[in-house]
Chain A
Amino acid sequence: MNTTSLAIDRVKRTPALRHLVIELLWQVADDDLMIGFRDQEWLGLAPHIEEDVAFGSIGQEELGHAVHYYGLIEALTGDRADDLALLRETSARRNAVLLEQPNGAGDYLHDPHFNWAFTIVRHYLHDVWEMTVLTAMTGSVVEELAQAGTKILGEKRYHRAHQELWLRLLAAHNPQQLQDGLALASQWGADLADFGPMAIDLQQSGVLPDAPLLPKQFADEVTDAFKEMSIDLPIFQPGLNGRQGQHTAALGGALTTLSEVYRLDPGARW
């Protein structure tokens, strides 16, 4: 841990720092909420029953990580984590646009035609990015971020190893499916590894060491991985930037579902 580490209640009293930490947490929290939601749509419907249970754990852990991050924001803002996760406007959401995209046509209740290769590719990209961020986070001056990084990295390793196995299977036996999944992901994936202008502040404040270098680190890692599998990595088209609150209609739909019951009476005890 960093020698000049700060506990979160110190961060709370330093507005500039507080703002940065919250901005970083929005990204990881909103990312994990969305990927967790998309993962869970597969629950009970995955192609193979053992895989169903395994993928179920991954989705659950993603949601668990999101809950942890929202909890940290709750500690910084005093707002309830449930409200933060469920009631914020779409324009306040900082998740990558790729992660809000549906798993395929239809939805989990109506006539789902889900795309397994896209699901795996998307998840893998998310896992590599989050691991890159978490690894940097372990060196954060903010104690709770460093701890979260260490704790969550352990689980992310499993997630990533899991997606990599599927990727290799796809590359060896169904490269076309993989290529199609990648093509789909590349329509949206440009904002995934992007802190925008705050990258330098994240680094200089010590909130996230090396922040400006992480996007390239991510790109190199992904490029090498696909090269090794002899799969062409398409160019990720710049488009909507979720990190700046730009989103597709898919996010609104997901949030309506996620908050349907809670909104009946957010003041009630559920």
Chain B
Amino acid sequence: MRNLDSEVYEVFAQSDSLSPHVHVFNVQASSPEMALVLAEENFFRRAEFVSLWVVRRDHIHHLGFGDRDGFKKTAKPYRTTDDYKYLRDKWRYYREHPMNPDADRTSTQGGHEHDFTRD
């Protein structure tokens, strides 16, 4: 039987040298060399690229547990800057009202009304 996946090449291109290679589409071709030529003619009639890759489809391994819901991750706000949005306001506040190093902080603890750390 013909292995159609061995004739299909996935095409990846990089638009400038700082960008990642991005998947463009795919072509049917008889060899990698042919796939490169065809990809260039098919997908870059207008757009420019600095690098072009083709990968035979059956050489691609992909992750799968039969269930795409399995790719969903639990929320990880602690991994991003989302939880730290309050910092900007704090820095602005302290720029205008610098802390006094000699003051007794116990009296002002919690006195900075904005307690962002626990929400």
Q: Do A's and B's CB atoms come within 8 Å in the complex?
A: yes
Could you tell me which A residues sit within 8 Å of B by CB distance? 61, 64-65, 68, 151-152, 154-155, 157-158, 161, 269
Given contacts A61-B74, A154-B74, 9 further A-B contacts (CB under 8 A): A64-B76, A152-B74, A154-B69, A154-B71, A154-B72, A154-B73, A155-B73, A269-B115, A269-B118
Is the pair A64, B117 in contact by a Cβ cutoff of 8 Å? Answer: no
A214 CB to nearest B CB, Å: 21
Question: Which B residues are in CB contact (< 8 Å) with A161?
Answer: 65
Task: Give chain B's interface residue range (CB within 8 Å of chain A).
Answer: 10 to 19
- Nearest chain-B residue to A150 (Cβ)? B69
> What is the chain B residue whose CB lies nearest that of A148?
B74
Q: Which residues of B have CB within 8 Å of A61? A: 74
- A134 shortest CB reach to chain B, Å: 12
B111 on the A face (CB < 8 A): no
Interface string of B98-119 (1 = CB under 8 A from A): 0000000000001000010110
Which secondary structure characterizes the binding site on chain B? loop
Bound CA span A219–B47, Å: 58
Hey, which bits of chain B sit against chain A, CB under 8 A? 65, 69-74, 76, 110, 115, 117-118
Minimum Cβ distance to chain A for residue B14 (Å): 23
Once bound together, how far apart are the Cα atoms of A64 and B73, in whole Å?
11
Contact B117 A154 (CB under 8 A): no
Given A154-B69, A157-B65, A161-B65 in contact, is the A269-B74 Cβ separation under 8 Å? Answer: no
Which residues from chain A contact B74 at a C-beta distance below 8 Å? Answer: 61, 64-65, 68, 151-152, 154-155
User: Which A residues lie within 8 Å of B76 (CB)?
Assistant: 64
Residues on the B chain within 8 Å of A269, using CB: 110, 115, 117-118
Q: How many angstroms from the CA of A161 to the CA of B70 in the assembled complex? A: 12
Q: How far is the CB of B119 from chain A (nearest CB, A)?
A: 12
The 10 A-B pairs of least Cβ separation, nearest first, read A154-B70, A157-B70, A154-B72, A157-B65, A151-B74, A269-B117, A155-B74, A64-B74, A154-B69, A155-B73
